[in-house]
Amino acid sequence: MSDLLSFEEILGQDQAISRLKAAQAQNRLPHAYLFVGPEGVGRQTVARAFFRRLLCTQGQGCGRCKPCQKFAKGLHPDVEIIEPQGKSVRIEQIRELEAKLRFRPLEASCRLILFPQAELLTREAANALLKSLEEPPPYNLFILIALTTESLLPTIVSRCQVVRFRPLPAQILFRLLTERFDKLPEEAQGLSLLAEGSIGRALRLSEKGFLQEMERFVLAIKRASPSQIVSLVEILSRLKEELPLFLELLLVWLRHSLWSSSPRDAYPSGLPEPPPKAFILPAMEKIEKCFWALERNLNLEILFLVLTTELAHLWQEASSKEPEKEKLEM
């Protein structure tokens, strides 16, 4: 937890933060919040910043007082973070937590309980937690984090105040990537467009080198080189569980290419070069079909060999139909 941020340092979630600040200032905190929104937009960052403010002797999350320092080191006795054990949060974890809820906090005025992946509660664990939310013991504040309200039992949602987190604007992502994570502007531009509002997703794409893989993919289908296509297929088939994400990125690239075909919208820098206009919609249809094929565990090398070969043919066909003036502009 050494990378904790204050509310003032968190960008793009002003509405959620203002609501939490107001509840703290008015001393009208509910017994449970539910933070919902896409992954990587700051839900857990805001939750931890809020916890630090509530523990802080100054009420601001100063980072210097003993409670702030204990929290930053993960040593505060009145903070419970319930992470999944394996692939789920189990009923045994809830029972262990319930045993602590009966007692007053040791140092703080309120015990703080965070469920970073509340949608992973088993049904038994969720029903056990519901009892604590229906008859909340005093001196306890829960924050549950989930992708959507639909991923939890309706009865749990009804016992929480829901705080919604929105995807971050591309300009906020660009600023975070360049200023906080030291990405070069061109890479940050591409990542901020592909990440679709999630700084977590942008960093994951950067770590995996997906922007470079996309450049290689587009170049291979543009040139229609058999050797490049075979080499590309070998690389892509090794992605395995990351393949759906790579296909999603291709669709994002194609959507930006489609939008920029309007005279008002310039094609953004940082993405692979735009394809011929006639290529875009047929290519999107073929990529969409790949998701269906992946769900049926078809041979990955054959799947991507067919896809890249068909896309290469589509590119050449579309390029041959494109007016010479448009080719020069691109």
> In this predicted model, what pLDDT tens digit does every residue of 65-101 receive, in sequence order?
999 999 999 999 999 999 999 999 999 999 999 999 9
Band of residue 327 on the pLDDT scale cut at 50, 70, 90:
very low
Options 3.40.50.300, 3.40.50.20, 3.30.450.90, 3.10.20.30; CATH of 7-164? 3.40.50.300
> In this predicted model, what pLDDT tens digit does every residue of 128-137 receive, in sequence order?
999 889 888 8
More confident residue, 121 or 265: 121
Neighbour count for residue 256 (Cβ, 10 Å) = 18
Residue percentage of the chain with pLDDT more than 70: 95
pTM over 0.85, yes/no = no
> In this predicted model, what pLDDT tens digit does every residue of 170-183 receive, in sequence order?
999 999 999 999 99
Half-sphere exposure of 255 (CA within 13 A, CB side): 11
Mean pLDDT of the chain: 89
More confident residue, 285 or 226: 285
Residues 33, 39, 45, 46, CA torsion sign? negative
Question: Among candidates 306, 283, 289, which has minimal Cα distance to 218?
Answer: 283
Cβ atoms of 113 and 142 closer than 8 Å: yes
Band of residue 242 on the pLDDT scale cut at 50, 70, 90:
confident
C-alpha dist (Å) from residue 171 to 44, 178, 186, 196, 266: 21, 11, 13, 11, 16
For residue 292, what pLDDT is reported? 84
C-alpha dist (Å) from residue 8 to 11, 49, 55, 163: 8, 10, 17, 18
Band of residue 243 on the pLDDT scale cut at 50, 70, 90:
confident
